[in-house]
Structure 1
Amino acid sequence: MTGRAASAVLPPSLRGWLGSVAALAALVVVVLGVLYAGDGEPGTVDARIGAAVDGVRPPWRHVALAVDFLGEPGGAATLVVAAVTGCLLLRRPRAAVLVVAGAGLTVGTATVLKSLVGRTIHDGSLSYPSGHTAFATALALVVALPVTGRLGLGRTAGTSLVLAAALVAGAAMGWAQVALGAHYPTDALGGWCTALAVIPATAWLVDRIADRLVGPTADAGRRKGS
């Protein structure tokens, strides 16, 4: 394994699979966005799931509030700082860049989509896609991708680990958002898919830029040592 492949935040063995997942996720985001554009009412699926989940009572409501806090500015900033610190302590600067860039681009994309789609909930708050769910899923992905590469997992095991992390984080935050009445279930799905679409592309871009920056330095070092 070359030095560049070992330090890549998007393991080469996962690029094809995650690229396909990202494309499919982007398609889902677009389809749901078109379907619920300008809407202010829950769909059939939203109503059925919401009826079973919305309005949870203690102690589950306390759990939902705690999970929701992790997507609020204070909680999100704490998680990002902790993740970046961990990456730097492990000497994985690319992973640290991915944490910041990935989380930022995912939340930014979700924010832009909210304005474009115009779906609302309750008092007219824009709801699609769920930014909380997008952030939680993105953070899980930016942590799982470098871990997969560090462990040297193959395509099947690596993809399974990354998608499992995204599913657990997205499901937990999505449940909290629906349980607290902040989002429709399809908002949560849209947020989950937004992260799945943005993070692989961001990871590829981070690797691409880092390789170009490191390349000339490495070539100069080899020439000097020869």
Structure 2
Amino acid sequence: MRQLVRTAPPALPAGLRAPLAMTAALATAVLVALGILHFRDSSLTGIDAALLPAVYPVQAPWRYVALVVDFGGEPVGSVILIALLSGVCWLLHRVRAAVLTVVGVVVTVAVTTVLKPVVGRMIHGEFLSYPSGHTALATALALVIALVLAERLGLGRAAGVVLALGLALVAGLVMGWAEVALGAHYPTDALGGFCAALAAVPATAWALDRVADRL
């Protein structure tokens, strides 16, 4: 098993390390800035005031679409998605990516879970909302998929970055829309979750490669 992990393709392709590190730094700054901006403040202002009325509440049939998307971030749905992606990575002999699927998501969701009570932003007067764990999870899974595809297809730095950020953005927008449409989060909560994944997944992938290379 040790040899299998050591010789497996990297979780974070070498060409993407520098650009994704810069992206992670920027995402961390945005995540922290939004947390400070909304610290103990649940008022509807700025971007949230502009976007929320246009999205929430969502009516049928789009409400059903939002519920299906939201299920992917619930405990049962997320376990299914993580298991499927990890299993595919394993079958493709991307062992490090299979591990990253689990560990990267755990780290990302842990970041959002810790930040929620720290920031203390509430929605509907009783639910901690910043940052969105659902959006973070969806973005994290999309990033893992993008990293696997970039490595497997042998994409260069520019194409790999476009793929990674493009898939992450699509996943973040879809899940973020669902969460706002269902009234579970403010738009900036979704942005915070998106940034949490952009910060956590590349860092976790880099750390995983470092550990695996030393086995």
After TM superposition, give the deviation of residue 37 of structure 1 in Å.
0.4
Alignment correspondent of 1:97? 99
**Aligned-residue RMSD, C-alpha:** 1.2
Deviations 1:84-143 (A, max 9, x none): 111111111101110000000000110001011010000321000000000000011111
Residue 32 of structure 1, aligned match among 17, 31, 34: 34
Conservation of the 8 A alpha-carbon contact between 2:8 and 2:94? no
Are positions 1:71 and 2:73 aligned together?
yes
Residue 181 of structure 2, aligned match among 163, 179, 182: 179
Alignment correspondent of 2:3? none
1:93-132 map, 5 Å: 93-132=95-134
Residue 154 of structure 1, aligned match among 153, 156, 163: 156
Q: Secondary structure at the match of 1:152?
A: coil
Partner Cα separation in structure 2 for residue 159 and residue 175 of structure 1: 24
Conservation of the 8 A alpha-carbon contact between 1:6 and 1:149? no
Deviations 1:192-214 (A, max 9, x none): 0000000000000111111111x
Give the count of matched residue pairs: 210
> 1:47 is matched by which residue type in structure 2?
A
Partner Cα separation in structure 2 for residue 52 and residue 38 of structure 1: 25
Partner Cα separation in structure 2 for residue 6 and residue 83 of structure 1: 17
After TM superposition, give the deviation of residue 83 of structure 1 in Å.
0.7
TM (normalized to structure 1)? Answer: 0.91
After TM superposition, give the deviation of residue 44 of structure 1 in Å.
2.1
Deviations 1:170-190 (A, max 9, x none): 000000001011000000000
User: Bigger CA drift: 39-48 or 160-169?
Assistant: 39-48
Q: Secondary structure at the match of 2:214?
A: helix
Percent of aligned pairs with the same amino acid: 59
Ranges of 4+ aligned residues in structure 1 off by more than 3 Å: none
What residue ranges of structure 1 are gaps of 5+ in the alignment? 214-226
What residue ranges of structure 2 are gaps of 5+ in the alignment? 1-5
TM (normalized to structure 2)? Answer: 0.95
After TM superposition, give the deviation of residue 6 of structure 1 in Å.
7.3
Partner Cα separation in structure 2 for residue 79 and residue 23 of structure 1: 27
- Higher-Rg structure is 1
Partner Cα separation in structure 1 for residue 161 and residue 46 of structure 2: 32
Conservation of the 8 A alpha-carbon contact between 1:5 and 1:11? no
